[in-house]
Amino acid sequence: MISNKYTGRTIPRRTDKIPGGDDMKKEELVFEQLNPDACRTYFVGSPATKEAALVDPLLGATEQYLSYLDRGGWSLRYVIDTHTHADHLSGGRLLSQRTGAEYAMHRKAGAKHASLRLTDGSALTLGGTILEAVETPGHTRDSITLKLPGRLLTGDFLFIGGAGRTDLPGGDPGEHWESLNRVIPSIDEATLIYPGHDYQGKRESVLREEKRTNANLEPRKREEYVAWLSAMRRPTPEWMVETVRANNDGPTDPSLTFMPQDAVSACMCAPAPALGLPELSVEEVRRLVASGGESGRLLLDVRQPDEYLGELGHVPGAILIPLPELPARLPEIEHYRGKRVIAICRSGSRSAKATVLLKEAGFEDVWNMNGGTLAWREKGFPVER
């Protein structure tokens, strides 16, 4: 048993093998995402015992969760926060009070009312199924990912096409790199990914697809990863500091909120590729390239030099400024401020961030090339290396 100075019982690490992969279909779980918006709350239920767990519940939705449990005849055994949230108030304490469920968080969480403390390998039993906690610090020091049969509830450790910010209090990009490199290689690529947020209305992803397209999972050295994320640092808004403080105290008033209406991408690790981001398809960019007029527009590749010159190649005529260097190198492209700028990367994720960054810097006619160089190559369009 790991001792710590925090309140609550620590759930021991299991020493026997935790079922996963193919040994996991002992019981068909009921699994649902309950929130309509960017914050995700997951319901996991065992039909055999009617025991259930709620992961990352919102304080303001407490009554909806209670009536959902009631309608299904579920008994709430666990309420789990994957980390101390900075963007919304947790319903963990109130649900625990109202139902008698255990409130579980990582052993380092500051929550005063968590009754169970999780560490790496802690196992929570739900009917015939085990929910295993995996330590994945980086977004916060108390971040956990929950491993279920065939599914990972990643919290803000990994999003679909991104990851949680590492520049909020307790965040650490180097620690995030270590978590990614320790945990992801050990997970079956067919595992479904359920993040703590999604800002584009996506429900789930598959790890194999994330490995192909998620910029946070592109192979990088630790120092490169840290430099990449550090270039996207933003200040922590005061309302987030207030939210963390309130979550540690265990808020119980469902009408309480600190989040401003427009903070839709609060936990995203960079300016979010928000809905409405101006995008061009690879076919549209191809037509533009074929029509000439280089002086009137800029194709801006924001990958790393080895990618730009590597096997995948780059769109003909594209110049290279890696995303982490872009803020400091804006003067080099100053003369394109009134012209069309098309940001390009490998899959469209880093270039989306570049598009937002350029727009924020005052470039007006900026576009993201949707699908990136991968999509360009898939169409068989020519590249330079």
Binding site for Fe ion (CB under 5 A): 156, 267
Smallest distance from Fe ion to CB 261, Å: 18
Asked if 356 contacts 273 with a C-beta cutoff of 8 angstroms, the reply is yes
Distance in angstroms (rounded) separating the CA atoms of residues 361 and 337 = 9
SS3 283: helix
Give residues with Cβ within 8 angstroms of 185, minimum separation 6: none
Instruction: Using the minimum distance from each CB to Fe ion, give the nearer residue, 86 or 217.
Output: 86
Smallest distance from Fe ion to CB 87, Å: 6
Give residues with Cβ within 8 angstroms of 327, minimum separation 6: 231, 357, 361
Instruction: Using the minimum distance from each CB to Fe ion, give the nearer residue, 156 or 175.
Output: 156
Give residues with Cβ within 8 angstroms of 235, minimum separation 6: none
Instruction: Using the minimum distance from each CB to Fe ion, give the nearer residue, 80 or 302.
Output: 80
Smallest distance from Fe ion to CB 263, Å: 12
Instruction: Using the minimum distance from each CB to Fe ion, give the nearer residue, 243 or 370.
Output: 243
Instruction: Using the minimum distance from each CB to Fe ion, give the nearer residue, 143 or 370.
Output: 143
Nearest alpha carbon to residue 317 among 360, 286, 346, 339: 286
Instruction: Using the minimum distance from each CB to Fe ion, give the nearer residue, 267 or 341.
Output: 267
Instruction: Using the minimum distance from each CB to Fe ion, give the nearer residue, 267 or 270.
Output: 267
Smallest distance from Fe ion to CB 348, Å: 24
What DSSP letter does each residue of 315-361 carry, written as one string?
Answer: -TT-EE--GGGHHHHGGGGGGGTTSEEEEE-SSSHHHHHHHHHHHHT
SS3 176: helix
Task: Return the structure tokens found at 78.
Answer: 């666990």
Smallest distance from Fe ion to CB 248, Å: 14
Instruction: Using the minimum distance from each CB to Fe ion, give the nearer residue, 268 or 326.
Output: 268
Please state the length of the chain. Answer: 385
Nearest alpha carbon to residue 263 among 132, 87, 94: 87
CA angle 201, 74, 117 (to 5 degrees): 75
Smallest distance from Fe ion to CB 216, Å: 15
Smallest distance from Fe ion to CB 290, Å: 44
Handedness of CA 21, 127, 14, 42 (dihedral sign): positive
Instruction: Using the minimum distance from each CB to Fe ion, give the nearer residue, 157 or 363.
Output: 157
Distance in angstroms (rounded) separating the CA atoms of residues 385 and 371 = 19
- The residue whose Cβ lies closest to Fe ion is 156
Left (φ > 0), alpha (ψ -120 to 50) or beta: where does 290 sit? alpha
Torsion of CA 369, 234, 164, 309, to 10 degrees: 40
Smallest distance from Fe ion to CB 143, Å: 8
Smallest distance from Fe ion to CB 85, Å: 5
Residue 291 DSSP code: T
Smallest distance from Fe ion to CB 63, Å: 23
Which residues face 162 on adjacent strands? 159
Instruction: Using the minimum distance from each CB to Fe ion, give the nearer residue, 90 or 99.
Output: 90
